[in-house]
């Protein structure tokens, strides 16, 4: 069941990456991140009320609030902010491919932080993943690209890496916060609530709330963010929590990283990208590296 939840999570994130790319191109990544978290917390708290009879899991231990809250800030606020910026700068295909580094970073963090040993097969998996992603990222469709375009591309790739780091840290912290069989919907509610409060507090202090709310007058943007917040930050994140509860983190992370493969046809059909054989092969190599890292 955990493996199935992870695959569906990957599909949800594939769809929502496309939706948020279109929304971010119209109003900017910062506004999209703020608005989608506001909607996502509404979906989450309503579901928590239906399933648990209360809006907020107030009976959760303080240490769960600490770990799950930090998980939300790193994963949903900082990580997704970088990711949404990458969507706008380099598109969803490259962004999600770089995001596939998240399980690699999780393995390295477990090695450094928890003292978990890396077997030779896992080291090979890391090298394959990094090599496949690097091979794709360094490919350019035009050798005559302007310097400014190259800078934008490099910054977009760097932003996607920031998203991968945020997601990796967030998943590790969520794993700690969910120990002992804590309900996944309650864990999601805590992550969403802390994340939404944090991002909107920053927005208010920065004086950006009026401009953010003004962007909601664009009906197309509003519709995209409503749909995206339901599919990704609510359903996708909930299923990701279910998957790491019911399956080993490595297996769940591997299956949740399949969206670069799912995105290949969409990149061609919706964004008119020229998906070269090198891009397809590099993507498959990186996915094989992730599988080798965690499944052997």
Question: Per residue in 175-205, pLDDT tens?
Answer: 889 888 888 889 989 998 999 999 999 899 9
- The pLDDT of residue 166 is 92
pTM: 0.79
Closest to 89 in 3D by CA, of 9, 161, 37: 161
- Give me the number of domains the chain comprises: 1
- ∠ Cα 128 84 69 (to 5°): 90
In a domain, 12, yes or no: yes
pLDDT-derived band at 116, boundaries 50, 70, 90: low
Residue 18 CA: distances (Å) to CA of 6, 176, 291? 19, 31, 25
In a domain, 199, yes or no: yes
In a domain, 294, yes or no: no
pLDDT digits (tens, 9 = 90+) for 213-232: 888 888 888 899 889 888 88
In a domain, 138, yes or no: no
In a domain, 245, yes or no: yes
Q: Among 147-151, 197-201, 236-240, which is the least confidently predicted range?
A: 147-151
Find out whether 98 and 164 touch, Cβ atoms under 8 Å.
yes
pLDDT-derived band at 142, boundaries 50, 70, 90: very low
In a domain, 178, yes or no: yes
**Is 60 exceeded by the pLDDT of residue 82?**
yes
**Is 60 exceeded by the pLDDT of residue 145?**
no
In a domain, 197, yes or no: yes
- The pLDDT of residue 201 is 92
**Is 50 exceeded by the pLDDT of residue 296?**
yes
User: Residue 194's domain spans which residues?
Assistant: 2-110+145-261
In a domain, 295, yes or no: no
Contacts of 98 (CB under 8 A, 6+ apart): 86, 133, 137, 157, 160, 161, 163, 164
């Amino acid at each position: 069941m955990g493996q199935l939840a992870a695959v569906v999570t990957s599909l949800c994130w594939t769809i929502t990456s496309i939706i948020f790319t279109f929304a971010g191109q119209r109003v900017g990544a910062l506004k999209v991140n703020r608005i989608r978290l506001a909607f996502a917390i509404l979906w989450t708290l309503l579901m928590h009320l239906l399933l648990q009879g209360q809006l907020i899991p107030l009976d959760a231990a303080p240490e769960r609030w600490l770990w799950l809250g930090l998980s939300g800030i790193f994963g949903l606020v900082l990580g997704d902010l970088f990711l949404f910026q990458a969507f706008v700068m380099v598109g969803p295909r490259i962004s999600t491919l770089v995001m596939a580094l998240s399980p690699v970073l999780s393995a390295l963090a477990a090695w450094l932080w928890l003292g978990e040993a890396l077997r030779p097969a896992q080291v090979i998996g890391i090298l394959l993943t990094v090599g496949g992603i690097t091979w794709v990222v360094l490919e350019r469709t035009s050798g005559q690209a302007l310097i400014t375009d190259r800078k934008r591309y490099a910054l977009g790739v760097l932003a996607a890496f920031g998203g991968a780091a945020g997601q990796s840290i967030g998943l590790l912290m969520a794993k700690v916060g969910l120990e002992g069989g804590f309900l996944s919907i309650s864990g999601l509610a805590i992550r969403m609530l802390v994340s939404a409060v944090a991002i909107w507090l920053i927005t208010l202090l920065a004086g950006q709330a009026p401009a953010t709310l003004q962007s909601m007058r664009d009906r197309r943007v509003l519709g995209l963010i409503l749909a995206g917040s339901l599919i990704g930050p609510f359903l996708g994140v909930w299923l990701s929590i279910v998957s790491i509860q019911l399956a080993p983190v490595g297996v769940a992370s591997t299956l949740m990283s399949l969206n670069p493969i799912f995105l290949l046809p969409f990149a061609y059909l919706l964004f008119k990208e020229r998906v070269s054989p090198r891009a397809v092969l590099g993507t498959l190599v990186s996915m094989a590296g992730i599988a080798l890292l965690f499944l052997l």
